[in-house]
Structure 1
């Protein structure tokens, strides 16, 4: 069997698989902190967080299903102070990649902004 390189779209799925759980953790953490704040619009913020969490969970579920359908496996190798390291397998091809923590923070911020914009656009 010849090893097949993943397509750009498949690599994006792998990246989504890595980033979506981190995004979920960020939103959950912020939500937990907000529970103890005395804000006049706290209920609105908590409901918005709940809606965002639901969308993120649905997207993560869809990504996991698609990876399974494609036969792609992803595994976290380790986390260092500067990077998150992963390995993936795809049709006989094995590779590893690292995401720098600064890049992850930046990308998560951008992605969460897109999700929030989508929520208010009614999509």
Structure 2
């Protein structure tokens, strides 16, 4: 107990509006940092889990192209390499962002249809699971998006 606890003068405090705004902002950031995973963070974790699978699939496809006799072999290889570079960029950005938010995860267990990861988020531990069907769908959507990005760059280059 301090000397000021019984003193009625200290119950009311005058604050400038600038100080009130700073105090409220500090309270909001403290409250948000104590929360569990947000939906955005969950999607970031999902993407970071899926990106190595996408890289493996593209690398396998590129190895298969080496044995192909297609006349467009070089074009396919260039597109595949561009997609791999984009996957690596996204992986790096997601790792950096999750590290800033003090979130990390490790593979936990794998059942017949679900792959689980342990997620450590700001002092809490959570279990994150992805079904194989969801992974396939998300990988397909992501590959389609990467391919569309490369196609858009090619279209823009051809128009010029």
Q: TM-score w.r.t. structure 1 length?
A: 0.91
How many Å separate the matches in 1 of 2:52 and 2:63? 16
Over alpha carbons, which structure has the higher Rg? Answer: 2
Aligned length: 122
The corresponding residue for 2:6 is none
Q: Give the secondary structure class of the aligned counterpart of 2:109.
A: strand
Higher relative contact order, structure no. (Cα contacts within 8 Å, ≥ 6 residues apart): 1
Task: Show the 5 A alignment for 1:1-123.
Answer: 3-122=34-153
- C-alpha offsets along residues 61-109 of structure 1, whole Å, 9 cap, x if unaligned? 1101111111001111133342211110111221112111122111101
How many Å separate the matches in 2 of 1:85 and 1:36? 36
Q: Give the secondary structure class of the aligned counterpart of 1:102.
A: helix
Q: CA deviation at 1:113?
A: 0.1
Q: CA deviation at 1:11?
A: 1.1
- Structure 2: segments with no counterpart, 5+ residues: 1-30
4+ residue stretches of structure 1 with deviation over 6 A? none
Q: Give the secondary structure class of the aligned counterpart of 2:107.
A: strand
- Structure 1: segments with no counterpart, 5+ residues: none
How many Å separate the matches in 2 of 1:72 and 1:63? 11
Q: TM-score w.r.t. structure 2 length?
A: 0.71
Q: Which has the higher strand share?
A: 1
